[in-house]
């Protein structure tokens, strides 16, 4: 079996006519929509965890995610990498920083849901691609195409509008966008030396001592709900590990099968669903000023998406143009 799970053709078999590749793309697209769809429905799950607070939910999410990842890695007998990780302090430090950033992102997101501000969380994930592009320029010194500069400028305009029209700095959207953007930047700096499952296991392992302390403090204060909220509530908290790990695995399976541009376009499923869930199912009110802010961000995303698609097409045409001719076999 290959890494993607497909069986290589037997020697002498007829050449692939492209149907297998097309099937893989369809499968990968389905995995992508499923992963981002699950993330988009997260507000319903976290709202169901009330009256647990954001820090208790975070602690349980860390510990049960670590348990799920450890179980999967044990079943796969995939633990040799742990020794290599511990022998590389710089990589371990990078994984720890990544863990802290994703923990901050999780906490702010849960806090937004629990305080009836899911729409602000959705705005944060709409802003995330623009922030990621901006971080690439500021930190990695990447060069942007003209339309990417336009998208970043429109995104900055949206942030200014939200701050001025709302009278306060939109800290939840900005904190979510920057924490996740910095998380991605840290992962890029660390390198793709760990698979998604290994990375998540390492990040949650680094955070687990903090999670244990949080739960002990909450228990000492009588503020924990795990043992007082009933069996259904406890089961929902335990389920946090599966809820966290499953969409990540689906995303990893999708990323192996479909182009990055497609992944980038599918990702907008998550904030759209979050916005719909917040407004229609959780009964949150979005002001007219905020809708204008959303509209400005959506214009930026349309520009960014158009640029990504056209750049990918140009790249494919260029590759076909420079592809060397295959000489005819001698008879």
Tens of pLDDT along 266-278? 888 899 999 999 9
- Domain-located, residue 6: no
Mean pLDDT of 91-111: 93
Using a pLDDT cut of 90, give the percent of the chain over it.
47
Identify whether 290 is part of a domain.
yes
Over residues 310-320, the mean pLDDT reads 77
Angle of helix 118-138 relative to helix 269-276, nearest 10 degrees? 160
Total domain count, the chain: 1
Q: For tokens 């939910």, name the residue.
A: 57
Rg (CA), the chain: 22
Res 192 pLDDT > 50: yes
Is 70 domain-assigned?
Answer: yes
What is the mean predicted confidence (pLDDT) over 289-297? 89
Q: Which two tokens stand for residue 284?
A: 């949150």
With bands split at pLDDT 50, 70 and 90, how would you rate the model's confidence at 242? very high
Please indicate, yes or no, if residue 171 is contained in any of the structural domains: yes
Say which residue, 238 or 311, is predicted with more confidence.
Answer: 238
The mean of the pLDDT values for the chain is: 85
**Tokens standing for residue 215:** 């739960």
Token digits of residue 296 = 């400005």
* pLDDT category of residue 216 using cuts at 50, 70 and 90: very high
pLDDT tier at 145 (50, 70, 90 boundaries)? confident
Q: Which domain holds residue 81?
A: 26-311
What pLDDT is attached to residue 194? 80
Rounded-to-integer distance, Cα 92 and Cα 38, Å? 29
Predicted pLDDT at 224: 92
- Give domain status of residue 19, yes or no: no
Residue 324 pLDDT grade (very low, low, confident, very high; cuts 50, 70, 90): low
Q: CB of 49 within 8 A of CB of 237? A: yes
Question: What pLDDT does residue 2 have?
Answer: 35
Give the pLDDT of residue 253.
85
Report yes or no on 279 lying in a domain: yes
Alpha helices in 221-287 (DSSP H): 231-238, 240-255, 260-266, 269-276
3 in any annotated domain: no
* pLDDT level of residue 322 (50, 70, 90 thresholds): low
How many residues in the chain? 331
Query: Is 7 part of a structural domain of the chain?
Result: no
Q: Residue 172 CB: number of other CB atoms within 10 A?
A: 20
């Amino acid at each position: 079996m290959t890494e993607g799970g497909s069986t290589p053709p037997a020697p002498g078999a007829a050449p692939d006519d492209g149907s297998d590749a097309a099937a893989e793309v369809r499968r990968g697209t389905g995995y992508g929509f499923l992963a981002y769809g699950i993330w988009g429905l997260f507000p319903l799950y976290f709202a169901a965890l009330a009256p647990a607070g954001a820090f208790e939910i975070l602690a349980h999410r860390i510990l049960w995610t670590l348990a799920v990842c450890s179980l999967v890695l044990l079943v796969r007998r995939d633990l040799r990498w742990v020794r290599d990780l511990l022998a590389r302090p710089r990589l371990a430090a990078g994984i720890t920083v990544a863990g802290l950033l994703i923990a901050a992102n999780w906490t702010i997101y849960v806090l937004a849901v629990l305080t009836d501000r899911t729409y602000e969380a959705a705005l944060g994930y709409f802003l995330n691609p623009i922030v990621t592009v901006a971080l690439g320029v500021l930190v990695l010194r990447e060069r942007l195409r003209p339309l990417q500069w336009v998208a970043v400028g429109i995104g900055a305009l949206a942030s200014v509008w939200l701050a001025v029209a709302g009278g306060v700095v939109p800290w939840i959207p900005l904190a979510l966008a920057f924490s996740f953007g910095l998380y991605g930047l840290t992962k890029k700096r660390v390198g793709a030396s760990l698979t998604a499952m290994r990375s998540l296991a390492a990040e949650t392992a680094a955070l687990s001592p903090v999670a244990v302390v949080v739960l002990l403090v909450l228990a000492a204060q009588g503020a924990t709900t795990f043992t007082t909220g009933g069996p259904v509530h406890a089961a929902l908290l335990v389920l946090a590990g599966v809820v966290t790990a499953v969409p990540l695995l689906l995303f990893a399976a999708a990323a192996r099968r479909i182009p990055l541009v497609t992944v980038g376009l599918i990702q907008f499923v998550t904030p759209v669903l979050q916005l719909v869930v917040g407004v229609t199912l959780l009964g949150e009110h979005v002001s007219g000023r905020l809708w204008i802010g959303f509209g400005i961000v959506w214009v930026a995303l349309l520009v960014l998406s158009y640029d990504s698609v056209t750049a990918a097409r140009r790249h494919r045409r260029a590759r076909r143009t420079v592809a060397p001719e295959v000489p005819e076999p001698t008879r």
